[in-house]
Amino acid sequence: MTMSRWIGLVEVVGSVIRQLWNGMLFLALVFLPCDIDAQAQSRRAVDQKANASAKSAPATITSAGRGASEVAERMRFDGRPPDPKLIFLAGNAWTIYASGPIDAEAGKRLEAYLAANRVPMQSHFYFDSPGGSLLAGMELGRVIRKHELRTNVGAARVDNLTGHSAGPGGCFSSCALAFLGGKFRFLNKDARYGVHRFSFKTPVASAVDVAQVASAAIVQYLRDMDVDTGLFTLASSVGESEIFEPTQSQLTTLNVVNNGFTRPVWTIESAPNGEGIYLKGERDTVFGMNKFMLLCDSKIILLYAIFDPQQREAEVLTFPVDYLVVDGRQERIDQARIFRKEVRGWINASYKLTTAQVTAISRAHTVGVAMMPREDSPAFLGFDSMPVDAGTAKIRGFIQACK
């Protein structure tokens, strides 16, 4: 590469960074062709009011989705600690409501807010935002992931029972990226989530180069958040002044919404003692880690399951009934149990499988292990629907190799 081309590349990248931080590169803010201008007008109106209360007023997305009647200068964080009387039942998680446009300092302010208030990990985080700066949205998402906050969409409202609850809200444009920071992501039925093609607030030089760098940054961010890059394809398919709202089915397929369950990772690994290999399916959930493993012992397939018993390990160890669950169908396997024990707060159990059970697992779409106090119990501890499709080839290959 010649020196002149190298200098030109440095200038382009520098231009991208400056424009991103200054908020010039925007995922457009809401729904209508005039929305960017409308936001500017709203900001001027706020400036004219020149008082702190107006500047901090949260944006409200109505159920009609036509935007805010008053737009804040910057994103506001309103945290609600848990009711002390309910901590024993609901835990110590806070609920934080984030409202207004995503400004360049939103991530830093959230980081400071969480530290100052000692907000526990895995607290609940609700968005109600029209969007804002592209880079700031992704930075906010990374702060959310760092603190393992669980994201949703909704605006704070008064609740006579708990004091507050999430009402209808919207998360659009760069907010849609920030939302992905939650390891566990939910979307209430009355909430709205929308994406579209990013755009520039003002014309810039080297727009094509800037767009390419920005596109690469978005795609990498989606991968880091374990979201299908098909979301970027959907966003790019609509105009910069339009909003595309994916269906619930699309959001689930793209892993934008996972409802408290990460996608399982299926791997074949070596045993810790170096003797043989095993197959493992593992996922994290709001109820703790789930592991479904197959081991080969002298051409016999053994099942090994691990799960979080929700601090009820002593109780689970007394349960007499164990089920193998394949595609929702239960089959008792407690009579084939090799052992069941608690290890560092986790339930570990192993079983000898029949040929028919192994075959069923090789053809399954979901698998699990459930433990119950009695056969007709309406509740269980364990997991019953870990998706298998991504690991089907590995499962079948492992079973074949064990024969």
Over residues 359-369, the pLDDT tens digits come to 999 999 999 99
Q: At what angle do helices 355-362 and 392-402 cross, to 10 degrees?
A: 150
3-state secondary structure of 146: helix
**pLDDT of 140-162, one tens digit each?**
999 999 999 999 999 998 776 66
Confidence of residue 103 (pLDDT cuts 50, 70, 90): very high
Place of tokens 């992501």: 185
Same domain, 246 and 299: no
Mean pLDDT of 32-50: 32
Place of tokens 């444009």: 173
Which residues, 6+ apart, have CB-to-CB distance to 22 below 8 Å?
Answer: 104
Residue at 23 is within a domain: yes
Same domain, 380 and 293: yes
Q: Which two tokens stand for residue 284?
A: 């994290």
Same domain, 270 and 215: no
Residue 307, number of CB atoms within 10 A of its CB? 24
Same domain, 216 and 348: no
Same domain, 308 and 244: no
Q: Which two tokens stand for residue 95?
A: 């609920």
Same domain, 276 and 241: no
3-state secondary structure of 77: strand
Same domain, 34 and 147: yes
**pLDDT of 244-267, one tens digit each?**
999 999 999 999 999 999 999 999
Instruction: Say yes or no to pLDDT of 72 above 70.
Output: no
Task: Decide which of 253, 276, 299 is a domain's last residue.
Answer: 253
Same domain, 135 and 178: yes
CA–CA dist 161, 156 (Å, integer): 14
Confirm if 289 and 262 have CB atoms less than 8 A apart: no
Mean pLDDT of 229-250: 89
Mean pLDDT of 2-6: 40
Mean pLDDT of 210-232: 92
Phi, psi (degrees; rounded to nearest 5) at 127: -100, 140
Give the pLDDT of residue 53. 32
CA–CA dist 7, 225 (Å, integer): 33
Range of the domain at 84: 3-253
**pLDDT of 44-62, one tens digit each?**
333 333 233 333 333 322 2
Q: Which of 334, 319, 298, 60 is nearest to 170 (CA)?
A: 60
18-27, 31-40, 114-123, 205-214: least confidently modelled range: 31-40
Confirm if 214 and 25 have CB atoms less than 8 A apart: yes
Distances (CA, A) of 134 to 48, 238, 374: 26, 17, 53
Same domain, 237 and 309: no
Write the DSSP string, 323-335: EEEETTEEEE-GG
Task: Decide which of 227, 253, 279 is a domain's last residue.
Answer: 253
Q: Between 50 and 88, where is the model more confident?
A: 88
Instruction: Say yes or no to pLDDT of 325 above 60.
Output: yes
Phi, psi (degrees; rounded to nearest 5) at 173: 60, -130
Please count the structural domains in the chain. Answer: 2
Confirm if 231 and 256 have CB atoms less than 8 A apart: yes
Residue at 258 is within a domain: no
The letter for the amino acid at 35 is D
Query: Cα-atom radius of gyration of the chain, to the nearest Å?
Result: 25
CA–CA dist 62, 167 (Å, integer): 10
- Secondary structure letter of residue 185 according to DSSP: B
Residue at 172 is within a domain: yes
Percent over 70 (pLDDT), the chain: 78
Mean pLDDT of 124-131: 97
Same domain, 181 and 119: yes
Residue at 260 is within a domain: no
192-201, 219-228, 317-326: least confidently modelled range: 192-201
pLDDT, the chain, mean: 82
Same domain, 114 and 194: yes
What's the CATH number where 72 sits?
3.90.226.10
CA–CA dist 202, 317 (Å, integer): 64
Model-level pTM? 0.78
Task: Decide which of 230, 253, 276 is a domain's last residue.
Answer: 253
Give the pLDDT of residue 85. 81
Q: Which of 367, 361, 364, 360 is nearest to 384 (CA)?
A: 367
Same domain, 197 and 270: no
